[in-house]
Amino acid sequence: MDFFETILWPLRWLVELVLAVWHQVFTWFGMDPAGGLTWLLSIIGLVVVVRSALIPITVRQIRSQRRMMDLAPEMKKVQDKYKGKKDQFSREAMSRETMALYKKHGTNPFSSCLPILIQMPIFFSLFYVLRHAAENTPGIGFMNEKLTASFNQADLFGAPLKMTFTQGWEQGNWTIVVMLGLIMILMIASQFFTQLQIMSKNVSDETKNSPMYRQQRILLYIIPFAFLFSGVTFPLALNIYWFTSNLWTMGQQFIVIRNMPTPGSEAWRARQARLRAKGKLTEEEAAVEDARQARETGQQGQRQQPVSAKRAKKKGK
C-alpha cells in the first residue's frame, strides 16, 4: 500500500460502503449482481450521495465565483493605481488593498475551487477501490471477494467497466474505445456548457468589460480539454462517475443561476422579468432594479417602472 492509499484509507472505506449498499439495493430489486447496469447505477448512486453532501459548499462556490467577477472592476482600479511601481512599500500596499477587497466582497481566489478540491480525494479513493477490484484484490472494507468478482465480470454492451481506453485500443476492443471516446466528448461539452452558463448569463455587464473576464473567457476554451487525460487514463467506471458528476454540476448550476443570479447580469434581468410578469417582484428588488437602470441610462433619481399589483395598491392608499 503506497502513501496516497494510506492517507485515503478512511475515504476508501466510505466509498466501498456506499458502493456496496447501492449494489445490494439494486440486487434486492432482482438485478444481476455481476451486471454492468447494476454497477453503473451503483456508481451513479455514489455520485448522488457525494454531490448531495456537497450542495452547501457548491452553492458557496457559485456565489464566490460571482463575487470574484463583481470585484473585477475594483481590482483593476487597484492594479492601475500601482502599475509600474516595483518598490516593496507599493507591493505591500497593493496586497493590503487587494485583501481588503476580498474581505469586502466576502470571497477569495481559492473559495471557488473548494468543491473540486474536496471531490478529488473521493475521486482518487474510487480509483484505488476500482483498481484493486480490477486486479481481483478485495478491498479494505465492504468490497469483499464476492463483490470484487462481480465487478470484474461487469460490462456495458461488451465494454468491461474495469477497462481503460488504452487497454481497449491495445486489445482491439472497439466497444470500449468508442464508448470512452463518446464519454470524453460529452464530458468536454458538459464542462464547457457549465462554465458558459456562468460566463454568459451570470456576469454583470460591467464585469464583462474587465480584463479578468477576458482572461477567464480564454480558460473557458482550455480547461474542458483536461478530460482528454482522464478519458484515456482511467477505466470506464471512473469516467462514468466523473461524467455523472459533471451532469449534476450543470443541472445544479442552472437552478442556482436561475434563482440567485448576479445583479445586472442577463440571468438577473430574466428573473426580474419573470417576477414582474407574475407580480412577485419585491419592493427592495424593484428599487435595486430602478437604481441600476437609472445608472445605465444616465438618468438622475429613480426611473418609473411597472409595479406589481401589491405595490400599486399600497401607493393608491
Q: Where are the domains of the chain?
A: 3-71+107-259, 279-316
pLDDT recorded at residue 304: 46
The answer to whether 240 and 127 have CB atoms below 8 angstroms apart is no
Q: What is the pLDDT of residues 157-187, one digit of tens each?
A: 888 998 988 888 988 889 999 999 999 898 8
The answer on pLDDT for 61 being more than 90 is no
pLDDT recorded at residue 302: 44
The answer to whether 234 and 120 have CB atoms below 8 angstroms apart is no
| Residues 6 or more apart in contact with residue 88 via CB below 8 angstroms | none
Cα angle at 113 between 111 and 117, to 5 degrees?
Answer: 115
Q: Of the given ranges (108-122, 159-173, 179-193, 254-268), which has the lowest mean pLDDT?
A: 108-122
Task: Write the DSSP symbol of residue 226.
Answer: G
pLDDT recorded at residue 46: 93
Which range of 73-82, 101-110, 128-137, 194-203 scores highest in mean pLDDT? It is 128-137
Interatomic CA distance for residues 198 and 204, integer angstroms: 10
> CA separation (Å) from 14 to 20, 105, 264?
10, 36, 43
The answer on pLDDT for 45 being more than 90 is yes
pTM of the model: 0.74
Report the percentage of the chain scoring pLDDT > 90: 15
Query: Residue 92, class by beta-carbon neighbours within 10 Å (0-12 exposed, 13-18 middle, 19+ buried)?
Result: exposed
* Better-scored residue on pLDDT, 286 or 97: 97
Q: Which residues pair with 159 in a beta bridge?
A: 156
The answer on pLDDT for 28 being more than 90 is yes
pLDDT recorded at residue 23: 94
Region 265-282: what's the mean pLDDT? 79
Q: What is the pLDDT of residues 291-312, one digit of tens each?
A: 555 555 554 344 444 455 555 5
Interatomic CA distance for residues 46 and 52, integer angstroms: 10
Q: What is the pLDDT of residues 85-103, one digit of tens each?
A: 777 787 778 888 878 877 7
